[in-house]
Amino acid sequence: MASRKIPSNPIQPVCFVGEGPFFWAPFLWASKEKCPGRDSGRNALLVPEMRKARHARPTSRKVYSEPCYFVFRADPACTYTGLPKTTKQSTLGPPKLLRVTMITEKGIVETESEGDTQDPDEIPIRDRRVITQPYDLVVSSLIDQIAAKTIYLRPLSERPAFQRRYVWTNILSSRLIESIALNVPIPPCYLSQNEDFELDVIDGQQRLFSIHRFLENQFALSGLEVLTELNGLRFHEIPAKMQRQIKTHTLRCVLITNESHPEIKFDVFERLNTNTVPLNAQELRNCIYRGALNDLIKDAAQYQPWLNILGKKSPDKRMRDEELILRFFAFQKLGLSSYRTPQKHWLNSAAKAGMRYSNLEIKRLESTWKHAIDQSLTLFEAGKAFRRPGSTAINRALFDLLASSTAHIDPAKLKKNRSEFLKRFKKLLADSEFQDLISRAVDHTKRTKRRFELWEKAFKGVL
């Protein structure tokens, strides 16, 4: 578990639970292996003093000889619930796999213990190839291809939808232009080629849009440290010789071709974003697998009863709700028998297959989705659907089970059997095996199939 510092910005106190002391503080360092407070082979915690400063630093170090094996690690963007409420250290028993509910900024899904544990039944992906080729472009050609919609670049188009908004300042943009004028090497850009031979900018959006803005005279150069005489000038005002130099400058680009294996291509996109704000799996699918199903998922995410379940006014900006919807469609189209890990590759397969769905199939799936959500709300209130009792976050395992069961059920039958369903649901949640199956490693193949088996047995004759 990597060390992580939680800033002292106004967030809820964060808890680390394990064998030995239990603490909470505005922020702390913690690690099962090496950490800043490690001393003489002992696990350590840095416990900061309460500080008013916005970015207070740890001022108090306490080292404990007791082993501290943490059940989970905190995310600085999240708060956590479901833990003992205390303001002082206390002693817990032997380490246990505790259920922890992670509340993100909007609160969508539970996190789980052992969430990153590899499935022992995971099927390795063989014969995966990524095919790249150089795609060097002179600046003027790049601008022409963007205008002709051969290359798609945000914010000039709605694609690629996963890209962040433009954030560079005019000073940063100016220094990029200065680097080009001085022939200083700049990092390559990465483009993705789809089946229609259109190109999306995967990495390099800020640089390319900065160049586009300058050639369109949208800002004057500023903050230049070498070519200071150009400060205050727009493109049309700089010398003609330098205009030609910039327009004929070659930009190094790498093209990931449409011949690449879709799953290894997906992995490449993940790696490209490792050193920046990482894109999650669904944001990457949104780029790679555009088409009929992807459009349906976006529409399904705006279905008002679904938004009511999430407690949101609009779909999640990070598309975590859309991944839940894709899970639903994957079980509907591919079936439980096809399920495999890593799950992201199984979902990729579902997303790719859906790119070419007919209008008739899309309408059928849309109807199935709405029916599943509506009937789920027959059984539960919006704030309780797909959740454990008392939880505010959706449990992915319960979502899969309940949504799959209500997708094709007769509304009259469901309404008639509601009381019996709730009785059996309560009994099933009390079952230790089932509770374990929905609490950790929920995406493992054998555990997923066993979970469906217990569910079907529990509600036989009711659903």
Q: pTM for this one?
A: 0.56
* Burial tier of 182 (Cβ tally within 10 Å: 0-12, 13-18, 19+): exposed
310 and 453 share one domain: yes
In this prediction, residues 281-310 reach a mean pLDDT of 91
31 and 177 share one domain: no
The structure tokens listed for 283 are 């944001």
Bridge partners of 14, per DSSP, are: 25
The structure tokens listed for 258 are 């449409």
pLDDT tens per residue, range 20-36: 233 333 223 333 333 33
Q: Which of 237, 256, 275 delimits the end of a domain?
A: 256
70 and 27 share one domain: yes
What's the CA gap between 377 and 3, in Å, rounded? Answer: 41
On the question of pLDDT at 279 being above 60, the answer is yes
Are 382 and 308 a contacting pair, CB within 8 Å? yes
Are 132 and 263 a contacting pair, CB within 8 Å? no
* Residue of 164 and 88 predicted with greater confidence: 164
| Count of structural domains, the chain | 3
Give me the domain span that covers residue 450. Answer: 301-458
pLDDT tens per residue, range 95-140: 332 333 333 334 577 766 555 566 665 555 555 677 888 888 899 9
26 and 70 share one domain: yes
16 and 141 share one domain: no
272 inside domain = no
305 and 454 share one domain: yes
89 inside domain = yes
Q: Which of 203, 223, 256 delimits the end of a domain?
A: 256
- When mean pLDDT is compared across 207-211, 392-396, 446-450, the lowest value belongs to 207-211
pLDDT tens per residue, range 302-356: 999 999 999 999 999 889 999 999 999 999 999 999 999 889 989 999 999 999 9
9 and 144 share one domain: no
17 inside domain = yes
Category of 223 on φ-ψ map: left (φ > 0), alpha (ψ -120 to 50) or beta: left
267 inside domain = no
- When mean pLDDT is compared across 92-96, 270-274, 290-294, 432-436, the lowest value belongs to 92-96
